[in-house]
Amino acid sequence: MTQNANYFADYKSYIEKYRGYEYREPDEIFEELIEECNYISGEGKDLIRQSYEMAKAGHSNQLRKSGTPYITHPLTVACMMLPYRPCPMLLSATLLHDILEDTDETYESVAAIHPDIANIVEWATKIRWASRDDPTGFSSEQARFETIRKILVASQKDIRILYLKIFDRSHNMMTISAMSPEGRQRMAEETAHVYIPLAKRCGLREMYHFLHGLTAEVLEQEKWKTMETFVTNKHESMVENSKKIHT
């Protein structure tokens, strides 16, 4: 029971932390990001800074469905990666991962920063959320197969693309409440069938567990709420009893 209580505590803390990034100043988030990159050389940090400036300019007039500045999304995804010490190319590509699809920037303009960054961004863009284009939802086996096929092809090009997509999906699941009920259902189903197994395969143990929780909040709402309430109450009771013992 203690283990379950600790899981819920860690889960809540993690989710609340990164959900809150949407409401922070982008430049403030970026400076914290750079400060945490103490394992990256000055040259690598320059690439990250160039990428951020391009992303910030490209997404300057764009908002997320929640109404918050769009640039906070790639910034948050990059910050979520930091405990895994990603290379500067991956962090840069993460900051730019929506630039080709959502702005007027081109592959060539991203490649001017670095060709490796452009390649990661281009392949990440190709792995589209299959259920966007499939009106029947992710129950379609064809849509599921197409997403998996694109992911397998991309992984042969560069394994970093998979890490980008897993963390990108994790943040999208955190902020899923801004979507329609149908959109939430489709995204959660795709996450359960594709991204949770991917996180496990890539050895991202924490992301694997957090994605499980995020999908359960959508696909098994009543069961999740009941379990969360029970474990939280049990944990509070244990804490209270511990205080009595030590007083």
What residues are labeled active site? Answer: 101-102
In which residue are the tokens 């924490």 written? 206
Helix (H, G, I), strand (E, B) or coil at 70: coil
DSSP string, 160-225: HHHHHHHHHHHHHHHTGGGS-HHHHHHHHHHIIIIIHHHHHHTT-HHHHHHHHHHHHHHHTHHHHH
Could you tell me the two tokens for 233?
Answer: 């109450």
CA distance 10 to 2: 12
Strand ranges for the chain from DSSP E? none
DSSP string, 49-73: HHHHHHHHHHTTT-B-TTSSBTTHH
Could you tell me the two tokens for 91?
Answer: 């962090």
